[in-house]
Structure 1
Amino acid sequence: MNTFADRAIAYYNTLQAPVNLPLGIGIMNPYQLTDVQQIVSQFYSTFYSDNRPRVFVMGINPGRFGAGVTGISFTTPQNLRRYCGIANSLRDTPELSSRFIYQVVDAFGGAGAFYGKFFLTSLFPLALTKDGPRRDDGRPGGPKNYNFYDDRATTNALWPAITETVRKQTSFGYDRRVAVCLGRKNETYLRRLNEQVGFFDRIVTLDHPRYILQYKAKDVPVYLERYIATFHECVETV
């Protein structure tokens, strides 16, 4: 019988990027890389080789220094090694969201306990980028993280892919009774999707990890407690 891991590995390691993005929007597909395919296989085989339904915890789309590099949601190469026990030769990357998420994972009891209950993912599975403003010397600015909802054209272009992403990922094995949305603006789009398709009975929303560390760093203990309480409540609910 196929497990959650089998279904997830097959999905990610054959994932193709949409080709209908607006001009100027870039996309990163790390799943085409052999090193990332091996990481994906090891990660899901380690934490998801069963058929237990998970509570979905859904972000926006990956950052270019997190899953845009490792293929694992909210996970940098260094956190993959430190918290998940998965060796890799990818260079360490800065990613605020990953830093906070793994404080949550650690506080919940570690990667085994956390991933045994939850599936971290995003409405759109690939990192998006947009070139920054031109430099003073006229050269193009470097790529910046971009969200699928940052402009209407990108949202509209990706909406069918977002719908299909969530549909396919729920087939891995999920409990439909509750989902956790990361990000207040992201909530608007997850609720719109849920009204259209009806994936989840209930959605609860938490402030996005990047927002917390960027704007509310002094209150991290408060937000950490809020995350843990919400996750425990979700597990008790299901």
Structure 2
Amino acid sequence: MDKIIDLHLSFMDRLIEEGNVLLELEREGISILPGFTEQADLIRSYYKKFYSKTGRRIVFCGINPGQYGAGKTGVPFIDFHGISRLMPGYDQEDKERSAQFMLSIIEEYEFGEFQDAVYLTNLSWYGFMRDGRNLNYYILPRTVRHHFIDSFVEEMKIVQPSFIVPLSEEVGRTLRQMAKDGQLEYPIAERLPHPLHGSFPTNLKKTRMRYHKCIEQLTGLKRKQIDSNES
């Protein structure tokens, strides 16, 4: 899986070398979150531990990193608290709502077995900010937007997913358009609510049930202990 990390690092190298895309973002007051490039060694360690085993996986595909989670760690849907839980030796405790929801899903399965069955990623490996707030890829200027999601197609050629599960309505639309344009040839499953939506107390139980149902139907993976209220 080092190929995936190299793919996204080389993409940023090209942006810096060519300059036009970064200038366009700068004119719009948009900055790119630095977590992925700053944490490349951590990401390689995470991928070596959890994604070195070959085999077909389903892909949970989100939007792009946010400033408090993957925007810091560089690992999709994993904040530093999650890193400390999944990789002993790291002791930072920064938390982010979407990442905490995803960690709660992961922890109901055996570490390693979950990652053997489910691959977490985003359409854009890079996150964005404007005026101190998160910005999603679909808000970027149309002239540059495609640059940040085109590499997802190459990533999927490496992963070879059995299904891609969009984790938001906008991601689902983008994936279906990619499939229509002949860029993706993998089945696109019914979307799931975004983890941020699922993290709120009024949504938590129902959304967790939907995630478990999707995982278990598409992969056959079993939870360590099934809550009788969910069965």
The normalised TM-score by structure 1 is 0.80
Moved more, 7-16 or 188-197: 7-16
Deviations 1:108-157 (A, max 9, x none): x13311111111001111111110xxxxxxxxxxx11111123xx53442
Secondary structure of the 1:53 match is coil
* TM-aligned CA distance change 1:104 to 1:72, over 3 Å: same
* TM-aligned CA distance change 1:148 to 1:9, over 3 Å: closer
The match for 1:167 is 153
Indicate whether 1:219 and 2:203 are aligned: yes
Gapped regions of structure 1 (runs ≥ 5): 132-142
Deviations 1:147-198 (A, max 9, x none): 1123xx53442214312x21221132222x4211001232222211221123
The match for 1:158 is 145
Please say if residues 76 and 93 of structure 1, whose CA atoms lie closer than 8 Å, have aligned partners that are also in contact: yes
* TM-aligned CA distance change 1:86 to 1:71, over 3 Å: farther
Indicate whether 1:79 and 2:64 are aligned: no
Indicate whether 1:178 and 2:163 are aligned: yes
* TM-aligned CA distance change 1:113 to 1:46, over 3 Å: same
Secondary structure of the 2:28 match is coil
Secondary structure of the 2:72 match is helix
Q: Percent identity of the aligned residues?
A: 21
Aligned pair partner of 2:44 in 41, 60, 75: 41
* TM-aligned CA distance change 1:77 to 1:194, over 3 Å: same
C-alpha distance in 2, partners of 1:92/1:144? 21
Secondary structure of the 2:191 match is strand
* TM-aligned CA distance change 1:94 to 1:78, over 3 Å: closer
Flag the structure with higher strand content.
Answer: 1
1:57-96 alignment runs, 5 A limit: 57-82=60-85, 84-88=86-90, 91-96=92-97
C-alpha distance in 2, partners of 1:125/1:60? 9
The match for 1:207 is 193
Please say if residues 62 and 123 of structure 2, whose CA atoms lie closer than 8 Å, have aligned partners that are also in contact: yes
Gapped regions of structure 2 (runs ≥ 5): 16-20, 221-231
* TM-aligned CA distance change 1:160 to 1:13, over 3 Å: closer
C-alpha distance in 1, partners of 2:216/2:143? 35
The alpha-carbon deviation at position 7 of structure 1 amounts to 1.8
* TM-aligned CA distance change 1:32 to 1:204, over 3 Å: same
C-alpha distance in 1, partners of 2:148/2:90? 30
Please say if residues 42 and 86 of structure 1, whose CA atoms lie closer than 8 Å, have aligned partners that are also in contact: no
Please say if residues 80 and 87 of structure 1, whose CA atoms lie closer than 8 Å, have aligned partners that are also in contact: no
Indicate whether 1:232 and 2:216 are aligned: yes
C-alpha distance in 2, partners of 1:203/1:126? 24
The normalised TM-score by structure 2 is 0.82
Secondary structure of the 1:40 match is helix
Please say if residues 78 and 93 of structure 1, whose CA atoms lie closer than 8 Å, have aligned partners that are also in contact: yes
Please say if residues 66 and 134 of structure 2, whose CA atoms lie closer than 8 Å, have aligned partners that are also in contact: yes
The alpha-carbon deviation at position 54 of structure 1 amounts to 2.1
The alpha-carbon deviation at position 13 of structure 1 amounts to 4.5
Letter in 1 for 2:99: S
**RMSD between aligned alpha carbons?**
2.2
Matched length? 211
